Amino acid sequence: MTDYPKIAARFARDTQHHEMTVLHDDGLYRHLNFATPEHGSIGAFHLITWPYNLVVKTGWTFHFDIDATPDMFNLFRKTAFPGEINPGYWSEKVRAGRDEIESFDPDLFEQQVKRYVAHSIRDGEAPRGIGREVASEIFELGDISHEAGARAALADFRYEGWDFGDLSEWDFSDYTPGFLWSCHAIRHGIDLWDAATKAVAA
């Protein structure tokens, strides 16, 4: 199962009527288009390969390369089960588009703050009323829609001598929806390609 079920469900909806069109097929040189014919380019994506390289164009563009794998389809086949993705490993192979792989995630920020506060309460380190104060000062009044504002809200928080301490190790980034959607596009596109080539061979 994917660790990002919302993106998996969105991808399934977006592509449920996709058809594959082979624009170029010459060994390791491929250009495949996946789209719903009546929707034109909406939700469409392309997979383009040449030796040691793969580009996925989905509205976002990511270029993967690895010197040890001439056929990049094999890399993605071997590092995730059909229908699943491996964003951690695959992100290491991105040459172009790296600034689109991860970004600040407000939901992750909220989860980490609440978890930290809960642990502090459980360990007897936080004063009474801390949960209500954090909810008010950070989640209601804080400008936490972006990372700078979220970090400032934590750094400025004080309640009866309690604060969030050293924030340098806190990480509020996660894979972007665009990168995860593109990972699903790669895995799905390869699965459709494999099914089509097996059908021709049969």
What is the pLDDT confidence band of residue 176, given thresholds at 50, 70 and 90?
very high
Spatial distance between the Cα atoms of 15 and 17, rounded to a whole number of angstroms: 6
Contact 176, 83 (CB under 8 A): no
pLDDT at 50 over 90: yes
Calculate the CA 105 to chain-centre distance.
Answer: 11
How many residues can be counted in the chain?
A: 202
pLDDT at 40 over 90: no
What is the pLDDT confidence band of residue 131, given thresholds at 50, 70 and 90?
very high
Mean pLDDT for 105-133 is: 92
pLDDT at 83 over 90: no
Contact 154, 113 (CB under 8 A): yes
Domain ranges of the chain: 5-101+176-201, 104-174
Res 136: pLDDT: 93
Q: Which of 70, 21, 35, 34 is nearest to 49 (CA)?
A: 70
3-class SS at 19? Answer: strand
What's the mean pLDDT when you consider all of the chain?
92
Res 1: pLDDT: 38
Res 2: pLDDT: 53
- The DSSP 8-state label assigned to residue 190 in this structure reads H
Q: Sign (positive/negative) of CA torsion 45, 50, 51, 53?
A: negative
Mean pLDDT for 48-59 is: 96
Contact 30, 49 (CB under 8 A): yes
pTM: 0.82
Residue with tokens 């936080």: 126
Spatial distance between the Cα atoms of 77 and 191, rounded to a whole number of angstroms: 8
Q: Which residue has better confidence, 175 or 201?
A: 175
